Structure 1
Amino acid sequence: MSRILPVMTCVIAWAPAHAIAQAARTTPPPSPTEEIVVTATRAPDPIGDVPASVSVISAAQIADTPARGIDDILRRVPSVDLPIASTDEQHPTDTIVSMRGLSGIRALVLLDGVPLNDPFFGYVQWSEVPLDTIERVEVVRGGGATLWGNYAMGGVINILTRPIDRTELVMASSGGSRGTTRTDGHAAVAGQSYGIGLDVGQSHSDGYVEQIVSARGPVSVPTSFTAHTAAVSGEAHLSETLTARARAGWYDNDQNFLTRLNTNTQRNLRTTGSLGWRPDRRSLLELNGFFIDERFLTDNPGTPDGADPLAEEYVQNSHLTRAQDRGASLSARREWSGWLRALSAGIDWHTIRGNDRARIFDETGALTRTDLGAGAQRFVGGFAQADLRPLPQVQVLASVRYQDFLSYDGTDDTPGGLGANLPHRHSNDVDPRLSLRWRLPAGFALRGAVYRAFRAPTLDNLYRAASVPGYILYGNSALAPETLRGAEAGFDYIHDTVRLQATAYDSVISNFITYRYLDADALPPGFDIGARLINAGRARARGVEAELSFRAADALLVTLGYTYADSVVTRNAEDPASVGVQQPGIPKHRVSAGLDWTGPRGVVLSPRLRWLGATSGDPDAIYRTQQHLVVDLGGRVPLGHGVEGFAQIENLFDRRYIGTNDGFTAPLYGRPFTATAGVRVKLD
């Protein structure tokens, strides 16, 4: 579905930092405004000593924000671009994520330093991470490919789960309107030299009918969603200098999307491991590895000839996608106390192999053909970074990555496709970044950065075709990686109970991935319209992001966020109508605000609001969503030692607005009023 958009999906080059992240979790922050973050520099640093635009979402903020998935919370973070609909209310391939107006899938999402982006399509299934198992989320805006590799063109989102540093039990269970239920649990047993943890989660929603009233019929159903996740993790201190960690997780979900026969199921297995050697407190050598196995089945309906599309349907195509994703990295870091504060370097290797087998049926249910798209990718890269302090108040981060890509074993076995044994495609890229932070008196600091980043096409972009009666969209095995050149400048103010950060950015994307329509003589029999993905044109994204957090009183915390994004295609000979049009799904203006008030007897009330301007739903701005203001409300109250009750209301005033309108489905409403209540237990 999302492949029709001009901004297409991409694939990951992995560079995990799980052991560094674990070390940071056990380091107490110097003050409430000096949290420790790891994603910006791949090392634990106070947030006030990082030359980047960074947001941190704590476990308490997650608990107090009405949400079913972490994507509902990230929508309030400046410059994070997500669909208006939540992950359980849209087709999985439309759960795209980008940052700074780049649109499509141009942000890297990590779970404890390991990629969460789907290996075949690039989307993110946010429900894979139960909310009550999260310790915090770090959002680093701006080109991050130098340190983290592929996908990090617009920035990096790192979701960090609860550490295994103490024996504890955390459980939360809730239920409410529209059949909504959610149960999360985290249990850990920790000894002097070991730790074992278990994370589990279950969520369900009967959903609501998303289509506008005029587009509903007998085939329409509420979009329901059920997900389960379980993960076991362990940590062992093999000696005073050697630590081993491992994690294995299982995830599945089932969705009924919009109509009776439109169903999606996913099954993922995710395993990771790391070995860290710290010969002294200033040195770290780390070896990491991971393996991911995925299975995704989507059934998509069509309408029998001459029938009412709102009244009759049949399964027209059934796509089964299988992919395996594996990788390893070796990194080292050495710290000093002089003007050369630290040196870091690492190498990483990453391969993806997958296939998409599509069975195509006629309206009688007979199999008419089977389409196959398959291939493999290999990424090999390395990075180096120097942390320099030429003056006590000046920090300079100089980093560079070399990345080598290879796409091979490609097959495009579809009507009019390119066949099997497609030519291998090889390319490489050098991506530097230079960042500067100058600390001024009274808590102020100035920041600036220039960088280059990249994004490689996914297996979906390269080899998979998607078709419906009369229309087919091809991948393109000759696609080259996109490249971005960007610059940013901003300032920080961190003092006592106030943290303010504002940044202006400007970036240009070359080799922009879009599509072109095919001439009639290039179409296979039975198809009236067809298109193929291409590298064409250029895009520009520039804007301003600002975030303010301050404690107005001992019992009152205030947060404000604002984003302005000017994001347009500047050159596209294949679709001139798209030039100068704001990118799909990117509002020009976005505002968020929140209050956390602690009252008598420990009662906490947390209203949240977000306002988004209208957006384009397609490259030519033919279809539009509606601007809207949504107010949510959360609250919790202590019930006894380690026990609290909580209640959450989404869309408090039940505002109705069109949140999805891309021209491929009927316009869809955003989530209506939904209320849930539950109990959370914390024992240690």
Structure 2
Amino acid sequence: MHRSFLVLPLLALGHPAFAQEAENTLVVTGEALDAPEGEEALATEEIDREAILAAPSGRIEDVLEGVAGFQQFRRSDSRSANPSAQGATLRALGGNATSRALVLLDGVPLADPFFGYIPFFAIAPERLGRIAVTRGGGAGAFGAGAVSGTIALESAGPDQLDPLATQALVNDRGGTEAWVQAAPRLGEGFATLSARWDRGDGFFTTPQDQRESATVPAAYDARSVEARAVAPLSQGVELQARVALFEDERTLRFAGADSSTSGQDASVRLVARGAWQVEALAYVQLRDFSNVVISSTRFTPVLDQRKTPSTGLGGKIELRPPETALGEWRFGIDYRRASGVLSEDAISAFSGNLTERRRTGGTNEDLGLFAGLSGESGRLSWLGLLRADRWTIAEGFYRAESATGAVLTDDRFAERSDWGLTGRAGLRFEASDAVAIRAAVYRGLRVPTLNELYRPFVIFPVVTEANAALAPEMLWGYEIGADWESDNARLSLTAFDNRLENAVANVTLTPVLRQRRNLDAVRARGIELDGELRWGTFSARASIAVTDAVVEGTGAAAPLDGNRPPQVAEIAGGAALAWRPHQRTEVALTLRHVGDQFESDQETDLLPAATMLGAFAQLPLTERLSFVLRGENLTGERIITRNQGGSIDLGTPTTVWGGIRLTL
């Protein structure tokens, strides 16, 4: 089956209908097929390269937080968070650490095959040219997983990159950040090669009055290398390939509480433009994760998650015939497979001896078929897309042995599979040259991750059990909105109502026991406001979301009925003001705000609201050399990222970066 993803488009390209008329110059873009007509009916917020590069922290999470409604499970970024907790979600549908948004890089899903988190540390902002955040469920290719929306990251092309550039920064705690990037033209095609290294001793995430002798700063060390090449095969047909290697090591809270992540990703994409259009994609991901848990009372190892090797692979074919009187059709098939096994050792906090060995894992598969029609007539544009997903949960197991090898538990879970029908439809009407009205309805699907299905975990003294019987999440939602745009300003207002059925959450059963269970639903209703203004060399952006999100629960979850989901804020937003007098000079201020959140599903352990001010400046020193200055949390806000019964973790304190950028 996997071979068919490339065979069909290659055969089709032999037909002359797929080629444009020959020209003297072959043109390559490195991009996907253009978005279908009618996509403007969806609530989409775009982030350009200038805004991407002006993030005060230099991290992609910080960039995405400029879009109201985006959230990770915790407020920490990828320097001081446990990687397995860095899921991405939109529209206040959070509550666990798995991504409910589909995150794509050049069309390839990025979520970890076992845990479902996003390796944000491996996504260097300087490699990107554009980000499009589409709020609301349902999607085209790889749509299973897009219950809260889609975050599409696009690599920068040679027209956005210097032929050779490098940057080196240091902060006031001795942390360093360095990257180098080359973007040479190769004949009619091009290539990009980049490497980035971030390291630092970090800051104390533990408040002064809760530190112990074993408490240490949150040290981090992350490296990534990426190579990308684009070459023309014929007029209107190009081949795009990408390879990425990355590693990350972190220490959280206590000495010895070390985690590590590694990955090797590769993808190839064939794009044919013409009367008939084709986009074919194949990818493979090899990931691993390890983590040592330290006792918070004796400060010795109690769990060694030695390794979690996982594999993700998949591909898609999308075909767009010539436009008809009805509009533009698109047909496609996609496939995703995620498999992985976690191996861990339980250790006595008193003796230091091994007490139990555990292995757990399985395989998830999804085969999707999709078809869509979009078009426009006069001032009216529309889109409709329908997906049918055949999902399979198989090969699940959990095995535990004593230190002597005696079998304590040996569970094998029955294979499950079913079809899920999802999709979305939208209309947009241009009421005038400046004002448009839009509406959309959608249905989304997400199958529980291997982590949710099979892996229990402990954050002392609370034990959270896995649940191999979890059902897929299904979302129903609709939205209405209005857009206003002039030559130098735009304003977008969207009201939405989303209901996530079978929402997976960690449900409290006793004070020290939780289990992953399907809630009846999480209902989120709210308003999003996005705006941008440009005048001369100045620009301003703002985005805010006000959301009323509640749990609908019965049975064991009945006590949660009406509660706000964990980690969800009623108000979140941000604003940025920038001055760019010319290409190499920029000064920007960034403001982020997140409202009160609860740590637990019982609406206890408050995470107070926080407002953060950041800054970025790039000032030319010579024709090729610039001075770069960045500031994080300049007002010194106390950001609480975790609160478990009064035991808290803190987010990034005031941090100042300075360095140079050289272009050739």
Instruction: Give deviations 1:3-53, integer Å, cap 9, x for gaps.
Output: xxxxxxxxxxx99xxxxxxxxxxxxxxxxxxxx9999xx73469x971111
Q: How does 1:422-441 map to 2 (within 5 A)?
A: 422-441=413-432
| SS of residue paired to 1:226 | strand
**2:260 aligned to which of 239, 261, 265:** 265
Partner Cα distance (1:529, 1:639) in 2: 59
Aligned to 2:360: 373
Aligned to 2:19: none
Aligned to 2:24: none
Provide closer, same or farther for how the CA distance between residues 112 and 398 of structure 1 changes in structure 2, counting only shifts above 3 A.
same
1:345 deviation in Å?
A: 1.0
- Code of the residue aligned with 2:314 in structure 1: it is G
**1:121 aligned to which of 106, 115, 127:** 115
Instruction: Give deviations 1:563-599, integer Å, cap 9, x for gaps.
Output: 1011110223213332212222221112312111246
Partner Cα distance (1:294, 1:142) in 2: 29
- Code of the residue aligned with 1:85 in structure 2: it is S
**1:362 aligned to which of 343, 348, 353:** 348
- Code of the residue aligned with 2:230 in structure 1: it is E
Of 77-86 and 569-578, the range deviating more from structure 2: 569-578
Aligned to 1:209: 204
1:357 deviation in Å?
A: 0.8
Partner Cα distance (2:348, 2:39) in 1: 61
Question: Is 1:81 matched up with 2:71?
Answer: yes
| SS of residue paired to 1:211 | coil
Unaligned runs of 5+ residues in structure 2 are: 7-28, 402-406
1:601 deviation in Å?
A: 11
Provide closer, same or farther for how the CA distance between residues 242 and 418 of structure 1 changes in structure 2, counting only shifts above 3 A.
farther
Partner Cα distance (2:114, 2:575) in 1: 36
Partner Cα distance (2:283, 2:111) in 1: 14
* 8 Å Cα contact 2:90-2:148 kept in structure 1: yes
1:147 deviation in Å?
A: 4.5
Provide closer, same or farther for how the CA distance between residues 530 and 324 of structure 1 changes in structure 2, counting only shifts above 3 A.
same
Q: How does 1:145-294 map to 2 (within 5 A)?
A: 145-164=139-158, 168-278=163-273, 280=274, 282-294=275-287
1:142 deviation in Å?
A: 0.8
* 8 Å Cα contact 2:507-2:601 kept in structure 1: no
**1:60 aligned to which of 42, 50, 55:** 50
Provide closer, same or farther for how the CA distance between residues 601 and 150 of structure 1 changes in structure 2, counting only shifts above 3 A.
closer
* 8 Å Cα contact 2:292-2:301 kept in structure 1: no
Provide closer, same or farther for how the CA distance between residues 549 and 517 of structure 1 changes in structure 2, counting only shifts above 3 A.
closer
Aligned to 2:649: 668
* 8 Å Cα contact 1:435-1:447 kept in structure 2: yes
Question: Is 1:650 matched up with 2:629?
Answer: no
| SS of residue paired to 2:61 | helix
Aligned to 1:540: 523
1:469 deviation in Å?
A: 7.4
| SS of residue paired to 1:144 | coil
Of 602-611 and 450-459, the range deviating more from structure 2: 602-611
- Code of the residue aligned with 1:123 in structure 2: it is Y
Partner Cα distance (2:245, 2:67) in 1: 28
- Code of the residue aligned with 2:635 in structure 1: it is F
**2:564 aligned to which of 582, 600, 605:** 582
- Code of the residue aligned with 2:652 in structure 1: it is R
* 8 Å Cα contact 2:166-2:661 kept in structure 1: yes
Partner Cα distance (1:244, 1:213) in 2: 55
Of 530-539 and 421-430, the range deviating more from structure 2: 530-539
Taking every aligned residue pair, what percent have the same amino acid on both sides?
24
* 8 Å Cα contact 1:146-1:431 kept in structure 2: no
1:410 deviation in Å?
A: 1.2
Q: How does 1:341-352 map to 2 (within 5 A)?
A: 341-352=327-338
Question: Is 1:398 matched up with 2:406?
Answer: no
* 8 Å Cα contact 1:461-1:475 kept in structure 2: yes
Provide closer, same or farther for how the CA distance between residues 655 and 407 of structure 1 changes in structure 2, counting only shifts above 3 A.
same
Aligned to 2:373: 386
* 8 Å Cα contact 2:598-2:605 kept in structure 1: yes
| SS of residue paired to 2:579 | strand
Partner Cα distance (2:458, 2:636) in 1: 37
| SS of residue paired to 1:580 | coil
- Code of the residue aligned with 2:465 in structure 1: it is Y
* 8 Å Cα contact 1:164-1:235 kept in structure 2: no
| SS of residue paired to 1:460 | helix
Q: How does 1:402-421 map to 2 (within 5 A)?
A: 402-414=388-400, 419-421=410-412
Aligned to 1:493: 484
Instruction: Give deviations 1:519-543, integer Å, cap 9, x for gaps.
Output: 9xxxxxxxx9544323232210110
1:514 deviation in Å?
A: 2.9
1:237 deviation in Å?
A: 1.4
* 8 Å Cα contact 1:37-1:138 kept in structure 2: no
Partner Cα distance (1:53, 1:516) in 2: 32
- Code of the residue aligned with 2:556 in structure 1: it is E
Provide closer, same or farther for how the CA distance between residues 598 and 434 of structure 1 changes in structure 2, counting only shifts above 3 A.
closer
1:197 deviation in Å?
A: 2.0
**1:334 aligned to which of 321, 329, 342:** 321
* 8 Å Cα contact 1:248-1:270 kept in structure 2: yes
Partner Cα distance (1:172, 1:283) in 2: 43
TM-score normalised to structure 1 length = 0.87
Partner Cα distance (2:409, 2:149) in 1: 34
Partner Cα distance (2:77, 2:630) in 1: 16
Provide closer, same or farther for how the CA distance between residues 37 and 441 of structure 1 changes in structure 2, counting only shifts above 3 A.
farther
TM-score normalised to structure 2 length = 0.89
1:350 deviation in Å?
A: 1.4
1:227 deviation in Å?
A: 0.3
1:170 deviation in Å?
A: 2.5
* 8 Å Cα contact 2:356-2:400 kept in structure 1: no
Question: Is 1:473 matched up with 2:464?
Answer: yes
Question: Is 1:140 matched up with 2:127?
Answer: no
Q: How many residues align structurally? A: 627
* 8 Å Cα contact 1:414-1:465 kept in structure 2: no
Provide closer, same or farther for how the CA distance between residues 441 and 468 of structure 1 changes in structure 2, counting only shifts above 3 A.
closer
Provide closer, same or farther for how the CA distance between residues 164 and 591 of structure 1 changes in structure 2, counting only shifts above 3 A.
closer
Aligned to 1:28: none
Aligned to 1:8: none
Partner Cα distance (2:58, 2:302) in 1: 30
Aligned to 1:567: 549
- Code of the residue aligned with 2:373 in structure 1: it is A
| SS of residue paired to 2:588 | strand
**2:300 aligned to which of 301, 310, 313:** 313
Provide closer, same or farther for how the CA distance between residues 602 and 169 of structure 1 changes in structure 2, counting only shifts above 3 A.
closer
| SS of residue paired to 2:453 | helix
1:417 deviation in Å?
A: 8.4
1:85 deviation in Å?
A: 1.4
1:434 deviation in Å?
A: 1.0
1:167 deviation in Å?
A: 7.5
Provide closer, same or farther for how the CA distance between residues 271 and 606 of structure 1 changes in structure 2, counting only shifts above 3 A.
same
Instruction: Give deviations 1:145-173, integer Å, cap 9, x for gaps.
Output: 45441221111111212225687112222
Question: Is 1:680 matched up with 2:634?
Answer: no
Question: Is 1:91 matched up with 2:91?
Answer: no
* 8 Å Cα contact 1:108-1:155 kept in structure 2: yes
Partner Cα distance (1:626, 1:468) in 2: 21
* 8 Å Cα contact 2:141-2:334 kept in structure 1: no
* 8 Å Cα contact 2:137-2:477 kept in structure 1: yes
Partner Cα distance (2:460, 2:611) in 1: 39
Partner Cα distance (2:181, 2:470) in 1: 43
* 8 Å Cα contact 2:142-2:334 kept in structure 1: no
